[in-house]
A = this chain, B = another copy of it.
Amino acid sequence: MSPTNITMEDIRSAQDRIATFIHRTPILTSNTFNKLVGCELFFKCENFQKVGAFKYRGATNAVSQLGPGEAVNGVATHSSGNHAQALALAAAIKGIPAHIVMPRNAPLSKKEAVAGYGANVIECEPTLEARESTLNQVVKETGASFIHPYNDERIIAGQATCALEIMEKIHDLDVLIAPVGGGGLLSGTALTARYFSPKTRVFGAEPSGADDAFKSVKSGHIIPSVNPQTIADGLLTSLGDKTFPIIQRYVEQILTVDDEVTIKAMKLIWQRMKIIVEPSSAVALAVVMTYTEHFKNQRVAIILSGGNIDFDKIPFR
């Protein structure tokens, strides 16, 4: 039995559906990095995606699939991260309302960015309970469609298009590595590999201080993320019942790395590639730096998931 309803055709359709809205991001290579880690690396630059992260793919795919009756009432979500901006922009482009519930203590810059896309920002107390109850309230009042940041098949199929772009450009790929938080990107990536390049092995990259996906796969059921401690603030959430079964079945292994290596990887990317990535992106390179033997002499693609960072929180000088 398939671990998901998402088909090969769903991913192809998602790609067609979002093609005119998203950036087809570049894939960079670097001799310096290849020498450093002893394999051939391909960096898929979703930091150059609209709103600065891959999240715009899924949000656009979800918003594009709303029927006219649903669309008119807009969309809603709770998020303090990239999904908030992604959904806000996707809704703005479609010309429908977006209601974004954000914790009161979210950085002002993030609230302003979301409001800047014309979304309605609703503040709540910084607890999961408050976020969910506020969201429920908003949905009830507005009739907006809740778009979950990852546990939604439209979102997963949208994120899956990133790996599809890689497969179309880079052939004979041995390995594909994506960071894992809630698992939207990783499950989509694994599905794309399964359908379009079954010989490519997919790995999840996770901070050791937020290793709930690692533990979930090991134990065979979803283990929630409790009090995660990592600089990779995009990878704090727990897997969902739509992402976990795909990851469990099609991801070869979740590899965990210490923040220390992630910071080193992030600095290397900034210094040598001259591009800005957020810590969550660097986790995938940190995996290659930590488990070099796993990838020796292989062709390895890494998804650099995003580039949104508060400059007052740069973890190196």
| Residues of chain A at the chain B interface (Cβ within 8 Å) | 26, 47-48, 52, 267, 270-271, 274-277, 307, 311-312, 314, 316-317
Say whether A267 contacts B311, CB under 8 Å: yes
17 A/B residue pairs, CB under 8 Å, sorted by A? A26-B26, A47-B274, A48-B274, A52-B274, A267-B311, A270-B276, A270-B311, A271-B311, A274-B275, A274-B276, A274-B277, A275-B275, A276-B276, A311-B314, A311-B317, A312-B317, A314-B314
Among residues of B, the one whose C-beta sits closest to the C-beta of A277 is B274
Copies of this protein chain in the complex: 2
A48, A274, A275, A317: residue with the most chain B Cβ atoms closer than 10 Å: A274
List the B residue with the shortest CB-CB distance to A28: B48
Assess the A311–B316 pair: CB atoms within 8 A.
Answer: yes
User: What residues of chain B lie closer than 8 Å to A270, measured between beta carbons?
Assistant: 276, 311
CB neighbours (8 Å) of A271 from chain B are 311
Q: Are A307 and B52 in contact (CB under 8 A)?
A: no
Q: Which residue of B lies closest to A46 (CB)?
A: B274
Chain B residues with Cβ below 8 Å from A314 are 311, 314
Closest to A47 in B: B274
User: Is A307 touching B276 in the complex (CB atoms < 8 A)?
Assistant: no
In the complex, A307→B274 CA distance in Å? 6
- Closest approach, in angstroms, between the C-beta of A57 and any C-beta of chain B? 16
Cα of A93 to Cα of B152 in the assembled complex, Å: 52
Bound Cα distance A33, B154 (Å): 31
- A311 to B275 alpha-carbon distance, docked (Å): 13
Q: Write out the residue numbers on chain B whose beta carbons fall within 8 Å of the beta carbon of A277.
A: 274
Closest 10 CB pairs of A and B: A274-B307, A312-B317, A274-B276, A47-B274, A311-B317, A275-B275, A270-B276, A48-B274, A311-B316, A274-B275
Residues of B within 8 A of A274 (CB): 47-48, 52, 275-277, 307
Q: Which residues in B have their C-beta under 8 angstroms from that of A307?
A: 274
Expressed in whole angstroms, the Cα–Cα distance for A123 and B13 within the complex equals 62
Query: When the two chains form the complex, which single residue of B267, B276, B317 contacts A275, counting CB atoms closer than 8 Å?
Result: B276
Who on chain B is nearest to A109 by CB? B271
Give A312 to B276 CA distance when docked, in angstroms: 16
A311: B residues at CB distance < 8 A: 267, 270-271, 314, 316-317
- Cα distance A198–B293 in the bound complex, in angstroms: 56
